Structure 1
């Protein structure tokens, strides 16, 4: 294939498109402001019970007292303020969030409210409800980002959004299960190698990362195929694998650039303390960058679709 999807042009188009569709920022802004000001639904009591059991096991295996104390402090500090509402940030399809995994103890206006959810089946129920809401909002975020990137595309009926939600839900389950099945054996190998030698552990880590990337990159555009091409979850997986294969090097560069940009800017946005007004700047900056990157990915995918359409026209003409 002579034509290639344009990497930097897609990133530039992401900025241009967002400047005309600023309402898309409301999704990540709204989610992070919710995490900042809403009550925290914690599982601190359950975490403490689990920690007590782990401590007993660690003491029986004669682990270092300093290592145990450090692990206890980290574990207790994190789960004291960790909120089940973090499930609003769904993967792989969802609204990006700066604060979803951050155990906020306060906000710029004072301490946060805490509600312990450690008892009964409330944990599972809360996770399911938050995940469902997160995926619904994530579907709308993806759908409208796609629409913004393709303003000339045919207008789709509302039932298309419902179909997209169902297929994105199935896709999320399939991809999470696949990542778990792939990661589990590599995690065991990494643990084994790391116990033998830190150098072997590092090598195993890089091999694992390369394998996961080789799986993630071809499937990265499966949600785009659902939203843009109205495909089912399994059709989208097949399309993503087939369509990306001829452009694997280009797609690898594009996805890697997006990951690097998101990672490095997140380090900056996460700098302010929980009670600092500068955290609002971080929330806005994160919303801006992640939305640009999402829209850019739809522009990149549209380039790929256009190339295949041109090939189809040429083949039909001949």
Structure 2
């Protein structure tokens, strides 16, 4: 028998607005959850910067050599424009990217400074800049910071999950389990990347061939592919929540996320849309405040609060539905046992 059968999601589960409200009420009782994103943003602002400028310049030089190469040289205005666009993008990244921001990226710790190029205050003398000089150094730094970011993110999300699941956070317990959660997350990422490569490359080649034969059909297939990817993203959206709230392994976390979305598809779509709208809109708010030191502090505090509240709400959304699913399964099991 289907474990979801007989579950009346709309009547028994809180909606999007109620879940968001509960998330922020929960955060108000556990404001220490803001410490990790605040500390990281202050570090990005006042601490040393890890610049990839030299590597970006090497990439630009390589692009220029490709553009002027007799065999690979640019022959059309469209290709020239594409090269210039990529060149400008790489140059901007070299000037603005602080590789230390990778500490926030793996598990999406809220950060207002990851996407903003704010210089250190003048009273710090402009701040110290450390450069990554070669592609090998860049790769090594990227991998190291990704792993460290996964561990830091595991502590942060572990604390949030404890609050959502148990009603209070235990820092020591979160630190002890950070390695386990980080390793599960890395396994999840590697697995998804391998699946994307194994499935995506043949599909991309197929669509490319079809586009050569029929541009209209190729365009339609691209639209269908992107729609499918969005649908997959929706069903996998609560995978990270399952990793921490349910202490699930990667594959089981994906299955739990799918089950939760199946239970409340419309609510999950609404919740995802709300998170996307809020997440995309808040950077404009912080930018409108200006670049003064007071405005930067307000942005750091406000972004940490908004982002962490959304994280708490997401875990609550998952928790409420997975509890209902488990309760429904237990009820079915008891009925089957009594029937025997």
Change (3 A) 1:256 1:208: farther
TM-score (norm: length of structure 2): 0.78
**Distance in structure 2 (CA, Å) of the matches to 1:294 and 1:222:** 13
Report the equivalent of 2:120: 107
The alignment's TM-score, normalised by the length of structure 1, stands at: 0.83
The structure 2 residue matched to 1:226, chosen from 228, 233, 243, is: 243
Is 2:39 aligned against 1:39?
A: no
- Are the counterparts in 2 of residues 45 and 118 from structure 1 also a CA contact under 8 Å? yes
How many residues get paired?
A: 314
Aligned to 1:115, what secondary structure does the other structure show? strand
Deviation at 1:69, TM superposition (A): 5.8
Q: CA deviation at 1:89?
A: 2.4
Counterpart of 1:172 in structure 2 is 189
- Assess, with a 3 A threshold, how the Cα gap between structure 1 residues 77 and 162 changes in structure 2: closer, same or farther: closer
Q: Which residue of 2 aligns with 1:116?
A: 131
For 1:38-117, what aligned pairs fall within 5 Å after superposition?
38-59=47-68, 60-62=73-75, 64=77, 72-91=87-106, 93-104=107-118, 106-109=119-122, 111-117=126-132
Q: Which runs of 5+ in 1 are unaligned?
A: none
For the pair shown, the structure with the greater C-alpha radius of gyration is 2
Residue 163 of structure 2 contacts residue 169 of structure 2 at CA under 8 Å; is this kept in 1?
no
In 1, the alpha carbon distance for the partners of 2:186 and 2:321 equals 24
**Structure 2 alignment gaps of length 5 or more:** 1-6, 336-340
Deviation of 1:116 after TM superposition, in Å, equals 1.7
* d(CA) in 1 for partners of 2:98, 2:285: 23
> Compared with structure 1, are the counterparts of its residues 40 and 220 closer, same or farther at alpha carbon in structure 2 (3 Å cutoff)?
same
Closer, same or farther in 2 for the Cα pair 1:88/1:57, shift >3 Å?
same
Root mean square deviation, CA, Å: 3.3
SS at match of 2:50: strand
After alignment, is 35-44 or 242-251 more displaced?
Answer: 242-251
Give the C-alpha shift of residue 136 in structure 1.
0.8
Task: Tell me the equivalent position of 2:279.
Answer: 262
What is the rounded CA distance, in whole Å, between the counterparts of 1:72 and 1:219 in structure 2?
34
Is 1:142 the counterpart of 2:157 in the alignment? yes
User: How many angstroms apart in 2 are the aligned matches of 1:173 and 1:39?
Assistant: 30
* Contact 1:86/1:101, CA 8 A, preserved across alignment: no
Deviations 1:60-91 (A, max 9, x none): 31455777666544432331232221321233
Aligned to 1:107, what secondary structure does the other structure show? coil
The alpha-carbon deviation at position 258 of structure 1 amounts to: 1.0
SS in 1 for 2:130: strand
**Superposed displacement of residue 288, structure 1:** 1.0
Q: Is the 8 A contact 2:50 2:98 kept in 1?
A: yes
- Does the C-alpha gap of structure 1 residues 32 and 317 become closer, same or farther in structure 2, counting only changes over 3 Å? same
Q: Give the C-alpha shift of residue 230 in structure 1.
A: 1.9
Q: 1:29 aligns with which of 35, 38, 42?
A: 38
Distance 1:79 1:28, change over 3 A: same
